[in-house]
Structure 1
Amino acid sequence: MTARSHAMTAEAVDHLQRLALQLEAHSFKVELTSRTGLVPQLRVINPAAPSVTEDVLACEDDGEWWFWLSWAGRIGQAEDVTTAAERIASVLYVIRR
């Protein structure tokens, strides 16, 4: 892993950790995974329906960081964790009671 890719991984983890705090405030369970050689990701789990999950990535694109759903759906800018958390929650709240 190059110094640049290590720094990008660390920055991705930082963005995902901030998003995790927002999602926990919405009562979601979160699991951050960061394995060597793989893109860090945040699994978001609806506690009312544990099989309902989304995997979120933080990736740099043209100098800006963005949150993405694992199926390549762009959520929003990583600097705006509140809006990103609300968008993710709206996807997972569909069956939440």
Structure 2
Amino acid sequence: MTAQSYAMTAEAVDHLQRLAMQLEAHSFKVELKSRTGLFPQLHVVNPAAPSVTEDVLACEDEGEWWFWLSWAGRIGQAEDVTTAAERIASVLHVVRR
């Protein structure tokens, strides 16, 4: 791993950790996964419906960091973890019928 890719991975992890704290405050279960050779990701679980999950990535694009859903859905800028957490919560929301 080059010094530049290590620094980018470390920055991605930092953004994901800040998002994790925000999501935990909203009662979501989170697990940061960082494996060699793969992008770090945050696995988010709705505790009211454990089968409802999503993986979130933090990626740099033209000097700005963004959160993305695993299916390439852009969530928002990494600097705004509050809005990102709200958008993730809306994706993982379960409507009872």
Q: C-alpha distance in 2, partners of 1:92/1:35?
A: 24
How many residues in Structure 1 have an aligned counterpart in Structure 2? 96
Q: Show the 5 A alignment for 1:9-24.
A: 9-24=9-24
1:46 aligns with 2:41: no
SS of match in other structure, 1:21: helix
1:61 aligns with 2:45: no
Q: CA RMSD in A?
A: 0.9
Q: Using structure 2 for the length normalisation, give the TM-score.
A: 0.96
- Please list every run of 5 or more consecutive structure 1 residues that lacks an aligned counterpart in the other structure: none
User: What is the match of residue 70 of structure 1?
Assistant: 70
Structure 1 stretch displaced more, 85-94 or 55-64? 85-94
- Please list every run of 5 or more consecutive structure 2 residues that lacks an aligned counterpart in the other structure: none
Identical positions, percent: 90
Runs of 4+ in 1 over 3 A off after TM superposition: none
SS of match in other structure, 2:50: coil
Q: C-alpha distance in 2, partners of 1:42/1:95?
A: 23
